[in-house]
Amino acid sequence: MAMTYGDPSINTTIQEMKNNGCDHLVLLPLYPQYANCTVKTIIATAKQTCSNLDLPLTIIKHFCTNNEYLEILVKDIQHYWDLDKYDHLYISYHGIPQSAIKKGDIYLKDCTAQTQAMCQMLNIPSEKITMVFQSKCGLMPWLKPYLNKTLIQAAKDGIKKVLIVTPSFVTDCSETIAEDAIDNKNLFIKYGGENLTVVPPMNDSPAFAKFLATLATNVNKTKKG
C-alpha cells in the first residue's frame, strides 16, 4: 500500500519492496476511472522510481468496466434499492474541470461507460437512474449535472426518497460521509425530500479485496507469461 499525498509514500513503498526482493511491480491505483489529475500522477511517480531502481513495472490504469468489479458494486446497490421504495438512483462521480476533458482527459468516457454497464446489470428502470458529479470547487465549470443542484430540483419536483452510489470512491471519505450523507441529505430534505441514503463504498469488503488481488495477480502472470 502506498499514498500519493500521505505516508507511506509511493517512492518509499517501492524502495522497500525492492529491498525486500521484489523483482516485478504491479501498480494498481484505487481509482476505478482514469483521470490525469489522479491516476496519471501516480503512474508518473511510480515509473520514475521504478526506472531509478531498474524495477520492471506493470500498470493497471483503470478497472471501471471490469465485470467482476461491476458485479460486486451492482449487488450492493441492488441490495439497498430493494430495502426501500426509492424514487431515484443517482450514480455520483467526483467531478473534474470541464477544461480537463477538452484537453483529452478520458475520465468522462470512463464514467459514462461504467454507468451504461451498471444500468444494464441493475434491475432498476433506466428512467430512475441519473449520472451526476459532485465535490466541485472553485469558479470554473466542472462536469455536469452537479449532484447538489440536481437534488434540489428533484425535491422540488416531488421526489421523496433517493439512493446515491459513489463509484469514484472505493473507501469512505469526507465526500461520502460528510458531503453526501450529511450535507447533501440535509439539502435534499430542506427542499422537500424525505430520505437520502448513500450506498457505502467497498471499504473492507472481502469480495472487493479478493477482486483486487486476483486482478493484480492475473496481470502479473500475463506479463511474465
Q: pLDDT at position 219, please?
A: 84
Task: Please name which of 66, 91, 15 lies closest in space to residue 210, comparing C-alpha atoms.
Answer: 66
CB atoms within 10 A of CB 111: 25
Letter for the amino acid at 13? T
Inter-residue contact 133 to 144 (CB < 8 Å): yes
Return per-residue pLDDT of the chain as tens, 225 residues: 999 989 999 999 999 999 999 999 999 999 999 999 999 999 999 999 999 999 999 999 999 999 999 999 999 999 999 999 999 999 999 999 999 999 999 999 999 999 999 999 999 999 999 999 999 999 999 999 999 999 999 999 999 999 999 999 999 999 999 999 999 999 999 999 999 999 999 999 999 999 999 999 998 766 654
Q: What are phi and psi of 192, to 5 degrees?
A: 120, -5
Domains of the chain, start order? 10-62 (no CATH), 67-198 (3.40.50.1400)
- Specify the pLDDT at position 224: 56
Q: Give the pLDDT of residue 153.
A: 99
Q: Retrieve residue 116's grid coordinates.
A: 451504461
φ, ψ at 168 (rounded to 5°): -70, -20
CA distance 93 to 136: 11
This prediction has a pTM of 0.95
DSSP per position, 133-197: EE---SSS-BSSSBHHHHHHHHHHTT--EEEEE-TT-SS--HIIIIIIIIIIHHHHHHTT--EEE
